[in-house]
Chain A
Amino acid sequence: MAAPSPARPGARDLAWAGDKLAQGVIFLGGISGILLVIGIFVFVSREGLGFVSNGLDLREFLTSPAWRPTSNHPTFGALALMAGTASVTGLAMLVSVPLSLGAAIFIGEFAKGRTRELLKVLIEMLAAIPSVVWGFIGLTMMNELIIDVFNVPVGLNVLNAGIILGLMAAPIMTTIAEDALKAVPDGYRQAAEAMGATRWQVIWRVVIPAAKNGLVAAVLLGVGRGFGETMAVLMASGHSINIPTSPFDSVRALTATIAAELGETAVGSEHYQALFFLGIFLFVVTFAINLTADLVVRGIKNG
């Protein structure tokens, strides 16, 4: 029997077609993320930019707290909504930064063997809890707890939403911060120990400064998570247009406003376009936060 003749280069047989097909599918998969992001941005812009061309009052949008889209004289001031989102996210960071950085340092530097594995799995499980469940916890348990402990009339406020959101953002921040700590070469630690540094000094003076960029990125991604979260904030924040002066004030977030009102406006109306404009605003802010986080992480690798 003759040996099979070697395939001519460039022959268009079945294997060639399969190869091309696989290549195409993988290429499509690879660029789909980019296409989707661009597609979403184009769609949101197309719906929302009508609001700009229909005489957007940017000063009102940025400086007035009066969000009255269905009034006889509609006003579209988003200041209170921005303040709502900012206050809830800010408080969430106060809760989650110490918690998650502490957890990351413990897992990365102190915990050993099974404790470490168990903690990592548990923290990842925490990230898998759906946001509506967190919202429900805020609406029922936290609400009553805050009323009892602080003696305030209603427990749905900045404090409630901030704590819930802080707990939601903590797992992702812990995971990324721990990766950053792990990326610090062991040689640094050994060198510091050789110089007679205590364990605490190694972590505080050597590991954390070396992992600084990664830790900042972890916090920024947590901020992005908080900024974009909708359901839990909608349920726990009290849904009240208000520039908060204390953690016990109810507020309304940008995301919650879109979620609550979008399904209920006529397509193409001014109110509908204004909501999409809020969406553009959110998209741009979250994009900027994530981009900053990305650049900061890149900084660690090049530097």
Chain B
Amino acid sequence: MKKLLLLVAAPALVLVACSRPEPGAKGSRVVLQNKGSDTLVNVAQAWAEAYKEVDPNTAIAVTGGGSGTGISALINGTVDIANASREMKDQEIASAKANGVEPVEFVVGYDALAVFLHPDNPATSLSFEQLAGIYGDGGETVSWSQLGLDVPGCSSGEIVVVSRQNNSGTYAYFQEVVLGGKDFKLGTRDMHGSKDVVDLVENTPCAIGYSGLAYATEHIKKACIGEAGACVEPTVEGAISGEYPIARSLLMYTSGQPTGGTKAYMDWILSDAGQCILLDKGYAPAAKVSCK
């Protein structure tokens, strides 16, 4: 039995070892593994694409999957940089340290989280209290009529609550800020990416969903957040000024203080060149930048 396992495990280990060359090795071509937040994946890909021009010897392999995925990969030591749209939990930092990984956090930008509605939905503003009634555990809002709304095309009146899978940073951030750390209701439809949320809400009059502002399309309505009359529209400017209440930091984590190729890449991301790409993708930069 043991021998059989060894036979299977040995080639697998060799494969893993081969596919991960030490980042920062001089002269040779470096591949940096970058994984995590679905919110950041578009901009991370744009960065990787643009960085080819800056340093042709460094290739960056970008994968999405959710903040939890990236952080788990960092803890398991399979990536060089993890993208996250939420901070690492204490428990995650502890298990990283137990694996000999010392996570270092970089704030690379800010993102406004938009609450999406079908374009036919007449709602003008939504307060945190109303959102908690819809999304929160124990919340009693299950139909649009409870909010005094009659949504055309939604004959049952039922609110189709669209959320994200539980390893998503967007999910965790929404939980922390809008629900005040309380749990989500059971029975939400948990989508596997920001784009899936937008697609479903766009095609479902009864639906409500949330995602990064950068994923908004012209076929979807963005709710104004706050009490009626004093609400704030989700905008990049609002996220920079802090006026919009659900804007969060976008983070990247490295294992230990970055060195070599990883350091050069992180420095470039935080430079004007990197930050302008972020702004161009619909996110708010980490610091004031001047873009052409």
A residues in contact (CB < 8 Å) with B = 35, 38-39, 65-73, 80, 151-154, 156, 238-242, 250, 252, 260-261, 263-269
Q: Are B183 and A264 in contact (CB under 8 A)?
A: no
* Residues of chain B lying within 8 A (CB to CB) of residue A242: 186-187
Among residues 181 to 239 in chain B, which have CB atoms less than 8 Å away from a CB atom of chain A?
A: 181, 183-184, 186-192, 200, 204-207
Given contacts A239-B189, A266-B71, list 10 more A-B pairs with CB under 8 A.
A35-B4, A70-B166, A154-B160, A154-B206, A238-B189, A240-B188, A240-B190, A264-B72, A265-B68, A269-B95
Q: Are A266 and B75 in contact (CB under 8 A)?
A: yes
Would you give 23 A-B contacts (Cβ < 8 Å), ordered by A? A35-B4, A39-B1, A66-B186, A70-B68, A70-B167, A70-B172, A72-B181, A80-B186, A153-B154, A154-B160, A154-B207, A239-B165, A239-B189, A239-B190, A239-B191, A252-B190, A260-B165, A260-B192, A261-B166, A266-B76, A266-B95, A268-B95, A269-B95
Interface SS, A side: loop
Which single member of B160, B166, B191, B206 contacts A68 (CB below 8 Å)?
B166
**Given A239-B190, A261-B165, does the pair A153, B156 have CB atoms closer than 8 Å?**
yes
Could you give, for residues 25-37 of chain B, a 1 whenever the CB lies within 8 Å of some chain A CB and a 0 otherwise?
A: 0000000000000
Residue of A nearest to B70 (CB): A264
B residues in contact (CB < 8 Å) with A = 1, 4-5, 65-66, 68-69, 71-72, 75-76, 91-92, 95, 154-156, 158, 160, 165-167, 172, 181, 183-184, 186-192, 200, 204-207
10 smallest CB-CB distances across A and B, nearest first, come from: A153-B206, A264-B167, A264-B69, A70-B166, A242-B187, A266-B72, A240-B189, A241-B186, A266-B75, A264-B68
Q: Once bound together, how far apart are the Cα atoms of A151 and B4, in whole Å?
A: 55
Q: Once bound together, how far apart are the Cα atoms of A73 and B192, in whole Å?
A: 23
* Closest Cβ–Cβ distance, residue B187 to chain A (whole Å): 4
Residue of B nearest to A144 (CB): B203
Q: Are A265 and B155 in contact (CB under 8 A)?
A: no
- Tell me the total A-B contact number using a CB cutoff of 8 A: 88
Q: Once bound together, how far apart are the Cα atoms of A154 and B91, in whole Å?
A: 37
* Closest Cβ–Cβ distance, residue A147 to chain B (whole Å): 9
* Residues of chain B lying within 8 A (CB to CB) of residue A260: 165, 190, 192
Q: Are A154 and B95 in contact (CB under 8 A)?
A: no
Residue of B nearest to A77 (CB): B186
* Residues of chain B lying within 8 A (CB to CB) of residue A151: 155
Q: Once bound together, how far apart are the Cα atoms of A50 and B206, in whole Å?
A: 42
* Closest Cβ–Cβ distance, residue A240 to chain B (whole Å): 5
* Residues of chain A lying within 8 A (CB to CB) of residue B204: 153-154
Q: Are B156 and A263 in contact (CB under 8 A)?
A: no
Which among A67, A252, A266 has the highest number of chain B CB atoms within 10 Å? A266
* Residues of chain B lying within 8 A (CB to CB) of residue A239: 165, 189-192
Q: Are A241 and B72 in contact (CB under 8 A)?
A: no
Residue of A nearest to B76 (CB): A267
* Residues of chain A lying within 8 A (CB to CB) of residue B65: 263-264
* Residues of chain B lying within 8 A (CB to CB) of residue A269: 91, 95
Residue of B nearest to A272 (CB): B72
* Residues of chain B lying within 8 A (CB to CB) of residue A70: 68, 166-167, 172
Q: Once bound together, how far apart are the Cα atoms of A68 and B154, in whole Å?
A: 30
Which among B4, B154, B167, B172 has the highest number of chain A CB atoms within 10 Å? B167
* Residues of chain B lying within 8 A (CB to CB) of residue A264: 65-66, 68-69, 72, 165, 167
Q: Are A71 and B72 in contact (CB under 8 A)?
A: no
* Closest Cβ–Cβ distance, residue B58 to chain A (whole Å): 26
Q: Are A241 and B187 in contact (CB under 8 A)?
A: yes
Q: Are A152 and B69 in contact (CB under 8 A)?
A: no
Q: Once bound together, how far apart are the Cα atoms of A35 and B4, in whole Å?
A: 9
Q: Once bound together, how far apart are the Cα atoms of A67 and B167, in whole Å?
A: 13
Which single member of B72, B187, B207 contacts A153 (CB below 8 Å)?
B207
* Residues of chain A lying within 8 A (CB to CB) of residue B200: 154
Residue of B nearest to A265 (CB): B72
* Residues of chain A lying within 8 A (CB to CB) of residue B156: 152-153
Q: Are B190 and A35 in contact (CB under 8 A)?
A: no
* Residues of chain B lying within 8 A (CB to CB) of residue A69: 166
Which among B69, B166, B181 has the highest number of chain A CB atoms within 10 Å? B166
* Closest Cβ–Cβ distance, residue B102 to chain A (whole Å): 16
Q: Once bound together, how far apart are the Cα atoms of A67 and B137, in whole Å?
A: 13
* Closest Cβ–Cβ distance, residue B16 to chain A (whole Å): 13
* Closest Cβ–Cβ distance, residue A148 to chain B (whole Å): 12
* Residues of chain B lying within 8 A (CB to CB) of residue A154: 160, 189, 200, 204, 206-207
Residue of B nearest to A249 (CB): B187
Q: Are A71 and B76 in contact (CB under 8 A)?
A: no
* Residues of chain A lying within 8 A (CB to CB) of residue B158: 153
* Closest Cβ–Cβ distance, residue B202 to chain A (whole Å): 13
